[in-house]
Amino acid sequence: MDVLFLSPGFPSEIPEFVRGLATVGARVWGVGVEPVGLLPETARKHLHAYLQVPNLLDEFDTVVRVRRWLGGRQLDRVEALTEYQVVLAARLREALGVPGMTVAQAEIFRDKEKMKQALDAAGIRTPRHARATTVGEMREAAERIGFPLIVKPIDGAGSAHTFRCNDQKELEAAIEGTRHVPQVSVEEFVDGEEFTFDTLTARGVIQYHNIAWYRPRPLIARTNEWISPQVIALRDVEQPHLRGGAEMGQRVIEALGFQDGFTHMEWYRKADGEVVFGEIGGRPPGARQVDQMNYACDFDSFVGWAEIVCHGKLTQAWQRSYNVATVFKRAQGQGRIVAIAGLQALRRDFGPHLVWENLLPVGAQRRNWLQTLLSDGFMVVRHPEFAKTVEMADRIGRELKLYAR
DSSP bridge pairs for 165: 149
**99 preceded by a cis bond (ω within 30 of 0):** no
- Pairing mode of beta strands 323-328, 230-233: antiparallel
Confidence class for position 158, pLDDT limits 50, 70, 90: low
Give the pLDDT mean for 122-149. Answer: 96
Tens of pLDDT, residues 259-301: 999 999 999 999 999 999 999 999 999 999 999 999 999 999 9
Beta strands in 203-342 (DSSP E): 205-210, 212-215, 230-233, 261-270, 275-281, 323-328, 337-341
Q: Give me the pLDDT at residue 157, please.
A: 65
3-state secondary structure of 46: helix
**Domain residue extents for the chain:** 2-109, 128-188, 191-321, 325-405
pTM comes to 0.94
Alpha helices in 146-288 (DSSP H): 168-177, 218-221, 240-256
Side-chain-side CA neighbours of residue 237 (13 Å): 26
Tens of pLDDT, residues 13-32: 999 999 999 999 999 999 99
**Fold annotation for 128-188:** Dna Ligase; domain 1 (3.30.1490)
Judge whether residue 156 has pLDDT over 80.
Answer: no
The two domains 128-188 and 191-321 share their CATH topology (first three levels equal): no
State the DSSP code for 74: P
Q: Does domain 191-321 match CATH 3.40.50.300?
A: no
Tens of pLDDT, residues 224-267: 999 999 999 999 999 999 999 999 999 999 999 999 999 999 99
Report yes or no: 263 and 162 within 8 Å, Cβ to Cβ: no
**Fold annotation for 2-109:** Rossmann fold (3.40.50)
